[in-house]
Chain A
Amino acid sequence: MTARATAAELGADVRAGRRRAADVVEQHLRAIEAREADVHAFNLVLAESARAEAAAIDARVAAGEDPGPLAGVPVVLKDNICTRGVPTTCSSRILEGWRPPYDATVVTRLRAAGAVILGKTNCDEFAMGSSTENSAFGPTRNPLDLTKVPGGSSGGSAAAVVAGFAAVGLGSDTGGSIRQPASLCGVVGVKPTYGRVSRYGLVAYASSLDQIGPLTSTVADAALVLDVIGGYDPADSTSIPDPPVELSAVLGEGVDGLRVGVVQELTTDANPDVVARVVAAAAALEAAGAKVEEASVPAASYALSAYYLIAPAEASSNLARYDGVRYGLRVDGADVDAMFAATRTAGFGAEVKRRIMLGTYALSAGYYDAYYGKAQRVRTLLIRDFEAAYDRFDVLLSPTSPTTAFPLGAKMDDPLAMYLMDVATIPANLAGIPAMSVPYGAGDDGLPVGVQVLAPALGEAAMFRTAAVLEASLR
């Protein structure tokens, strides 16, 4: 990879008139043209509207206005983030052709900061998957090795960033869907504290777990984007009202004296070459003045099981609305129930059906207490265990994914094996705490390994300081 301008640099240059947004867009469109056919990161490239937006940014700069910190920065959006008048498919047949009549809050904020929306990226259908293979429009390939998956479900955004198609990708993370593809593609990916970024306009998979976050090439870019899209939104009842700390301002504060715990439960089952990178990361932090020790979060062992009850349960309800009445696909039937079933059977892929059925089962009479009810209590245990861990540590460390990028098709017939890819990322979603993946070298196969940094709720500042030190230690 040649050194590319970061989002921070692009924004600063365009804002200052040193670079034209139009040129930035053309440069990225050329990169897309060169490699998109191989990678398939996009469901939709918005070349024309991006050019128009860039021209408008340049005009504002010329007129002496300040378009904002992301002036002219090309951004791609996972295709489950609503864009007014622009198809938003969730990579599902059932939403093909649907054009939302409104923008997600994050889209409004990106635009207000001067960003240019370059396209909608491929993902696992309704964000259900860990490889971006469960897309109705075909898989995305890992730009670093086209025989491998980019991870998922935000694989299109991760691939777009690493391939140089865009400076910033937005993804959504329900059980690791930003961090795991970031790890497999060698980019930075952040799952913010639940409630830090508005979910308004994010098509729901599992509402109590979903968060939108950035995928970027650098830690500083991730901070910049999170500063733009984060903060209170009255349209989301679960939005945290406290004004968040400005992350871009704390990046350089270092880790001297910071207490870092390596979570045993999330590390031991990972591949040895991945664990080796976590050990190296811990050593780098120690060298930078942090105090590193082993940490334990016992309930993390139950997190995967709890997640695969809670997330499908919420999904089974969230995805009920795709019934062929108001928008999207309809397959006709003799009566309305027949139409519902025909539409949903034709419109959803196998993984979505599996999770809808699993969740329906977990909520159904006679099983609720044993499954969904238990899983919610495990969630409480996990939150308590994290709280106890954060009494001793400021941040926690683990691998993001147990392996590097795996071959396409390798896990498609074994859902459980695929689910196990999220074993280290899921606990943060269940507990609502922030976590991010930072690229930290390569595994035995030469593919990237991501190290996960976790922090207490609203503890993004310490998390980003740690990530910045890790990033710098590789230079």
Chain B
Amino acid sequence: MAERLTRDDVLKVARLARLEVTDEEADRFTDQLAAVLDHAADVAALDLTGVPPTARPVPLVNVLREDEVRPGLDRDEVLAAAPAAEDGRFRVPPILGDGP
């Protein structure tokens, strides 16, 4: 059974999710999320060994498409939707650190 959700947990998930929370929001979210997780304690407490997980409720496998080229989108239309573009590409602020 997991520990009760703390304010630090809320701050950590907010960082992971790229959300900023004010002190007041952090308190409120901690209470609200803890209440939902308390309600979910019944599930967390269940012994479900031997019960397989269900990820999606359709019994399909091997849904495949043929390797055939299909027309894509027009670049001008795509970039027109972008908050910033330059040189046929999307422009973003400087990136610190590498991707994984």
- Mark A residues whose CB is within 8 Å of B: 98-99, 101, 194-195, 207-208, 234, 237-238, 240-241, 301-302, 304-306, 308-309, 316, 320, 323-330, 332-342, 344-345, 348, 353-354, 356-358, 360-361, 364, 367, 370-371, 373-381, 383, 415-416, 419, 430-433, 457
Contacts and interface: CB of A to CB of B under 8 A. Distances in A.
Contacts of B51: 377, 380-381
Given A340-B18, A376-B54, A353 B13 contact: no
Contact of A326 (B37, B42, B54, B82): B82
B69 interface: no
Measured as residues with beta carbon below 8 angstroms from the partner, the interface class of chain B is: 35 or more
B46 A238 contact: no
A378 B43 contact: yes
Contacts of B77: 101
Given A316-B17, A374-B48, 15 more contacts: A208-B55, A237-B60, A305-B42, A308-B36, A330-B84, A335-B95, A335-B96, A337-B18, A341-B18, A353-B21, A357-B29, A357-B33, A358-B33, A371-B40, A433-B57
Secondary structure dominating the interface of A: helix
B48 A361 contact: no
A454 B52 CA distance: 24
A376 B53 contact: yes
B79 to A, nearest CB: 9
The 6 A-B residue pairs with the shortest CB-CB distance in the complex, in nearest-first order: A432-B57, A376-B53, A330-B83, A377-B48, A379-B54, A305-B40
Contacts of A98: 81
Contacts of B84: 330
24 contacts: A101-B81, A194-B58, A302-B46, A305-B40, A305-B43, A308-B39, A325-B82, A325-B83, A326-B78, A328-B81, A340-B18, A341-B18, A345-B19, A357-B33, A358-B33, A358-B36, A358-B37, A361-B33, A377-B52, A378-B43, A380-B51, A380-B53, A383-B57, A432-B58
Contact of B20 (A329, A342, A433): A342
Nearest to B58: A195
A374 B21 CA distance: 29
